[in-house]
Chain A
Amino acid sequence: MSTSNISRRHFLRAAGLTGTALFVGLYFPSNGEEAKLATASAAETSDIELNAWVHIDTNGKVTIFSHRAEMGQGAFQSVPQIVAEELEVNLKDITIRFAQGDREKYGNQVTGGSSTIRGSYKNLLKLGASAREMLIMAAATKWQVSVADCYAESGHVIHRPSGKKFHYGELVEAASKLEAPKDIVLKKRSDYKLIGKPLSRQDSPLKTNGTAVFGLDKKLPGMLYAVVERNPRLRGKLVSFDASAALKVAGVKKVFKVQTGVFQTFRDGVAVVADSTWAAIQGRKALKIEWDDSGFEHMSTAEIYRRQNDLLKNQEGLSAKKQGDPDEILALAAQKLDVVYETPYQSHSAMEPLNCVAHYQEDKIEIWGPIQAPEWVQDYICGQFKLPKEKVVVNMTFLGGGFGRKAFMDYPHEACLISKEINAPVQVVWTREDDMTQGPYRAGISYRCQGALTNGQLSALKFKMAGQNIGHWMGAPKDQPNRSTTEGFLAPYYESIKNVSFSDIPFEIPIPNVWWRSVYASTNGFAYESLINEMAHLAKKDPLEFRRDYLKDERSRKLIDKMEELSGWKEKKNGEGFGLAITECFATTVGQVVKVSRKADGKIKIDKVWAVVDCGWYVNPDIIHAQVEGSVLMAYAAATIHQITFKDGLVEQKNFYNYLMPRISDMPKVEVHVMENDENAGGVGEPGLPPFTPALTEAIFDLTGKRIRKLPFDMDNV
């Protein structure tokens, strides 16, 4: 199938839809130009393939193809909530389908960087409004009345003077023959009926009765199951294996070597294919394998931090950003700080372990799985199997959590290799132990942070980072600094603090790493905001007032006011510790206040967390609340219990018995406030995470006088 010459009839069949219908979609030119609106007839005449769309059939049933993954962050709800607003339909009348992966058809589909809404809301609004206008035009023509006298509401076009109405289904045939309107007037925010409302999620009912299909739930006729024993040192080679005992396990069909791509290297493993997941797991236990673990360094956690901290002492690194001359100011300043913060390696540990279904058939591959980046998977599989794009179909299922790990190609690649070898559809299941011990992980980064006060004023900040760079795994040049070194830091500081520098000291070890919820902001935020808090104390200022002195723009000012008001910052009582931090990532700023006190046994507990979110234009406040509540707990675990450690090149944590997960009684109270303004939309899934830890450690400092600079720390033994 080439990108041109698709007939409407062909598309109807491809999409599994029938009958006359109205299609409105977007066309993403491959030259990177802005997406263009188009209808099916326009697509037909101008040879473009139209896929991301609104589809309305003659019964008035509306279908929206969602181009982004649903991994808990609410795309399945908020994408249709946007389209339905302008289309003037009720959410309950919409059917949502996941789109397949294809960059040229859908633009960027990588569900990462909290980008679903901020990256597409303007297009989605236009999409909905165009369809609505075409339906109104069709009705006006039928009635022979002026378009201005007609309006749309709840899936109907109504003639205002007479009260006559058509439901959309009655208009689609005529509307589908119209050109998309050139100038679309979008609704005013004050007129929104759906956007901005805490509407119930459309995927909730599917997730309470077991019908939502996650990757692990995908079944195909004749599908077999596979598990893979992968080298526990991640980079080792397979020397030999003895499958004789494994093949005797009832249900085991085949055992063979598999080499899966991980970044620019390959990971050796032995695949065991069976007629059930359990049989495959039993078969794998019976394998005897000899690995060659030579030729790369076997790391230990202590060694990683020793080296990183040495680098921070001895090297300046690559300059990522610099204004003024922090070194000169620091040299002259009477009051200054020079401290090191350390953050741990983290596992993503989504509740749904990695898995993928693949069916390789002669010259084509179809994949189903919990996939955050469908078009990356498509690109990669095309490259590995030397197939054109139309021969590689990538289907997204619901994701049982992703957090960055599922925006990667290794597990689909492995499934494709195994399907090819056995010539049958297969589901590759990673056990929890596989998921936890194989990485890639969030890197644990060390920071050296320096600050100077001149006449009591913050005059210089100098930040150095030493830790692995995800970009290096993907071929980024090693003489360039990590571009994310400044992530999390608030831009308004650059206005008020004249001397600021960031640098990155390259550090490489053979432990693969990848983005983890909020990426570099998750570690940067702890270091940078902790330093700001420490500088406030050096200046003998209240940390909230101190921020007012340096964050003078209107949005920051309002955010700080709200944090102060909600948390009762000024009404602190004896025996209470208050801490705050503010970070920005993915175009959203979140400020958090954490309040701690001591339990009867003297141990510290969190009384409450207040989070103020400035994400600009937003769709569903309830989803924002949920994302921030979840981000707080994920940050809390990362700060106080979670650390992936290495010993002789092996990961020491295997499952939830030694990578403990917070449970219901560990959940702190969280109150979320979303700021109202007319700024562009920012991200929501990640920005709630970074400010929590520096706010917590500041609250503990406030209560105990003890400064925590190394994570994770034990809440029971501060």
Chain B
Amino acid sequence: MINLNVNQKTYQIDADLNMPLLWAIRDIIGLTGTKYGCGVAQCGACVVHLNGEAVRSCVTKLSRAAGQKIVTIEGLSENNNHPAQLAWNEENVPQCGYCHSGQIMSAAVLLRENPNPSDADIDSAMAGNICRCGTYLRIRKAIHLAAELQRKEAAGK
């Protein structure tokens, strides 16, 4: 038995410690927003936050995740209102939508660490997330917008 803390909730899980976090989140806990895309840390569809970092859950074993603070796309915001989520919707970024949980989780780390990212910063941060539909132009636009929303929000506080 291990404890997994996902989206501020603790789950007691009886699973092999070698099981990747991805499958525990999806198949055992039942949160399906985190996606399987490649299984080898190539595509970024499975990105979750582990202690705030954008880890690839498909290669992160339960042994590493146990007892740590994990946030999935379902827990990123209260009401689909993280600046990245708001911007993604404003710019109509998703097509098929499958990769965007991971894209948004990656963008959220960028926005936290760099409130005013340049195009080059966006390229550096988002290079690990593949989108087969080709929404990259809109991802870039949405991250710039999200940064703006975030700055406004910070100024308002």
Whether both chains belong to one complex is answered with yes
Report the nearest A residue to B136, measured CB to CB. A667
In the bound complex, residues from chain A placing their C-beta under 8 Å from that of B19 are: 276, 278-279
Interface residue B32 (Cβ < 8 Å from any Cβ of A): yes
Looking at the assembled complex, report how far the CB atom of B77 sits from the nearest CB atom of chain A, in whole angstroms: 8
Report the nearest B residue to A215, measured CB to CB. B98
* CB–CB A208/B95 < 8 A: no
Looking at the assembled complex, report how far the CB atom of B127 sits from the nearest CB atom of chain A, in whole angstroms: 5
Interface residue B117 (Cβ < 8 Å from any Cβ of A): no
In the bound complex, residues from chain B placing their C-beta under 8 Å from that of A669 are: 137
In the bound complex, residues from chain B placing their C-beta under 8 Å from that of A401 are: 96, 98, 132-133
Cα(A700)–Cα(B72), bound, Å? 44
* CB–CB A276/B27 < 8 A: yes
Interface residue B4 (Cβ < 8 Å from any Cβ of A): no
Known contacts A278-B23, A629-B137; A350/B39 CB under 8 A? no
* CB–CB B32/A213 < 8 A: yes
* CB–CB A622/B92 < 8 A: yes
- 0/1 string, A8-33, CB within 8 A of B gives 1: 00000000000000000000000000
- 0/1 string, A612-631, CB within 8 A of B gives 1: 00000000001000110111
In the bound complex, residues from chain A placing their C-beta under 8 Å from that of B104 are: 208
Contact of B134 among A275, A278, A634 (CB under 8 A): A634
Question: For residues 89 through 148 of chain B, which have their beta carbon under 8 Å from a beta carbon of chain A?
Answer: 89-90, 92-101, 104, 122-123, 126-127, 129-140
Looking at the assembled complex, report how far the CB atom of B64 sits from the nearest CB atom of chain A, in whole angstroms: 15
* CB–CB A431/B131 < 8 A: no
Interface size class of A (residues with CB under 8 A): 35 or more
Task: Give the secondary structure class of B's interface.
Answer: loop
- 0/1 string, B1-37, CB within 8 A of A gives 1: 0000000000000011001100100111011111111
* CB–CB A656/B74 < 8 A: no
In the bound complex, residues from chain B placing their C-beta under 8 Å from that of A207 are: 94, 97, 100
Interface residue A244 (Cβ < 8 Å from any Cβ of B): no
Known contacts A399-B96, A432-B37, A432-B38; A663/B134 CB under 8 A? no
* CB–CB B23/A661 < 8 A: no
In the bound complex, residues from chain A placing their C-beta under 8 Å from that of B73 are: 208-210
In the bound complex, residues from chain A placing their C-beta under 8 Å from that of B127 are: 663-665
Cα(A353)–Cα(B99), bound, Å? 12
Known contacts A626-B92, A664-B136; A655/B72 CB under 8 A? no
Segment at the B interface, from A51-59, A198-206, A521-529, A568-576:
A198-206
Cα(A214)–Cα(B90), bound, Å? 22
Question: For residues 398 through 449 of chain A, which have their beta carbon under 8 Å from a beta carbon of chain B?
Answer: 398-403, 429, 431-432
Cα(A200)–Cα(B94), bound, Å? 11
Known contacts A206-B97, A210-B31; A656/B134 CB under 8 A? no
Report the nearest A residue to B85, measured CB to CB. A208
Looking at the assembled complex, report how far the CB atom of B36 sits from the nearest CB atom of chain A, in whole angstroms: 6
* CB–CB A656/B42 < 8 A: yes
Cα(A334)–Cα(B93), bound, Å? 53
- 0/1 string, B60-97, CB within 8 A of A gives 1: 00000000000011101100100001001110111111
Interface residue A351 (Cβ < 8 Å from any Cβ of B): yes
Looking at the assembled complex, report how far the CB atom of B34 sits from the nearest CB atom of chain A, in whole angstroms: 7
In the bound complex, residues from chain A placing their C-beta under 8 Å from that of B122 are: 664
* CB–CB B43/A661 < 8 A: yes
Cα(A276)–Cα(B33), bound, Å? 17
In the bound complex, residues from chain B placing their C-beta under 8 Å from that of A277 are: 23, 26-27, 36
Known contacts A72-B97, A277-B27, A278-B19; A351/B39 CB under 8 A? no
Interface residue A219 (Cβ < 8 Å from any Cβ of B): yes
In the bound complex, residues from chain A placing their C-beta under 8 Å from that of B131 are: 351
Interface residue A162 (Cβ < 8 Å from any Cβ of B): no
Interface residue A216 (Cβ < 8 Å from any Cβ of B): yes
Looking at the assembled complex, report how far the CB atom of B139 sits from the nearest CB atom of chain A, in whole angstroms: 6
In the bound complex, residues from chain A placing their C-beta under 8 Å from that of B94 are: 72, 201, 203-204, 207-208
* CB–CB B88/A204 < 8 A: yes
* CB–CB A208/B32 < 8 A: no
Report the nearest A residue to B143, measured CB to CB. A664
In the bound complex, residues from chain B placing their C-beta under 8 Å from that of A71 are: 96
In the bound complex, residues from chain B placing their C-beta under 8 Å from that of A74 are: 95
Contact of A350 among B36, B77, B132 (CB under 8 A): B132
* CB–CB B89/A661 < 8 A: no
In the bound complex, residues from chain B placing their C-beta under 8 Å from that of A630 are: 95, 133-135
Interface residue A225 (Cβ < 8 Å from any Cβ of B): yes
* CB–CB A655/B38 < 8 A: yes
Contact of A216 among B36, B40, B136, B137 (CB under 8 A): B36
Report the nearest B residue to A209, measured CB to CB. B80
Interface residue B54 (Cβ < 8 Å from any Cβ of A): no
Interface residue B55 (Cβ < 8 Å from any Cβ of A): no
Looking at the assembled complex, report how far the CB atom of A696 sits from the nearest CB atom of chain B, in whole angstroms: 15
* CB–CB B137/A400 < 8 A: no
Contact of A657 among B31, B40, B88 (CB under 8 A): B40
Known contacts A213-B32, A250-B16, A669-B137; A398/B97 CB under 8 A? yes
Interface residue B45 (Cβ < 8 Å from any Cβ of A): yes
In the bound complex, residues from chain B placing their C-beta under 8 Å from that of A665 are: 123, 127
* CB–CB A351/B45 < 8 A: yes
In the bound complex, residues from chain B placing their C-beta under 8 Å from that of A208 are: 73, 80, 85, 88-89, 93-94, 100, 104
In the bound complex, residues from chain B placing their C-beta under 8 Å from that of A622 are: 92
Contact of A203 among B16, B40, B76, B97 (CB under 8 A): B97
Cα(A352)–Cα(B96), bound, Å? 9
In the bound complex, residues from chain A placing their C-beta under 8 Å from that of B133 are: 72, 351, 401, 630
* CB–CB A351/B43 < 8 A: yes
Interface residue A211 (Cβ < 8 Å from any Cβ of B): yes
Interface residue A632 (Cβ < 8 Å from any Cβ of B): yes
Report the nearest B residue to A351, measured CB to CB. B98
* CB–CB A200/B92 < 8 A: yes
In the bound complex, residues from chain A placing their C-beta under 8 Å from that of B126 are: 663-664
Looking at the assembled complex, report how far the CB atom of A371 sits from the nearest CB atom of chain B, in whole angstroms: 14
In the bound complex, residues from chain A placing their C-beta under 8 Å from that of B36 are: 216, 277, 353, 429
Interface residue A217 (Cβ < 8 Å from any Cβ of B): yes
Question: For residues 304 through 344 of chain A, which have their beta carbon under 8 Å from a beta carbon of chain B?
Answer: none
Interface residue A670 (Cβ < 8 Å from any Cβ of B): yes
* CB–CB B132/A216 < 8 A: no
Cα(A190)–Cα(B136), bound, Å? 33
Looking at the assembled complex, report how far the CB atom of A447 sits from the nearest CB atom of chain B, in whole angstroms: 26
Report the nearest B residue to A427, measured CB to CB. B27
* CB–CB A214/B98 < 8 A: yes
In the bound complex, residues from chain B placing their C-beta under 8 Å from that of A657 are: 40, 42
Report the nearest A residue to B89, measured CB to CB. A204
Looking at the assembled complex, report how far the CB atom of A529 sits from the nearest CB atom of chain B, in whole angstroms: 21
In the bound complex, residues from chain B placing their C-beta under 8 Å from that of A465 are: none
In the bound complex, residues from chain A placing their C-beta under 8 Å from that of B137 are: 629, 667, 669-670
* CB–CB A656/B130 < 8 A: yes
* CB–CB B39/A431 < 8 A: yes
Cα(A401)–Cα(B32), bound, Å? 17
In the bound complex, residues from chain B placing their C-beta under 8 Å from that of A661 are: 42-43, 130, 132
Known contacts A71-B96, A351-B132; A210/B38 CB under 8 A? no
Some 29 contacts from A to B, beta carbons below 8 A apart, are A73-B95, A74-B95, A200-B89, A207-B97, A208-B85, A208-B94, A209-B74, A209-B77, A209-B80, A210-B34, A211-B33, A214-B32, A217-B26, A276-B27, A277-B23, A277-B27, A277-B36, A352-B98, A398-B96, A400-B35, A400-B98, A432-B37, A432-B38, A627-B95, A661-B130, A661-B132, A662-B136, A663-B129, A665-B127
By Cβ-Cβ distance, the 7 closest A-B pairs, closest first, are: A210-B33, A400-B98, A207-B97, A72-B96, A633-B134, A72-B95, A630-B134
Known: A214-B32, A279-B19, A663-B126. 12 other contacts (CB 8 A): A207-B100, A208-B89, A210-B101, A351-B132, A352-B35, A353-B37, A398-B96, A401-B96, A627-B95, A630-B135, A661-B42, A667-B140
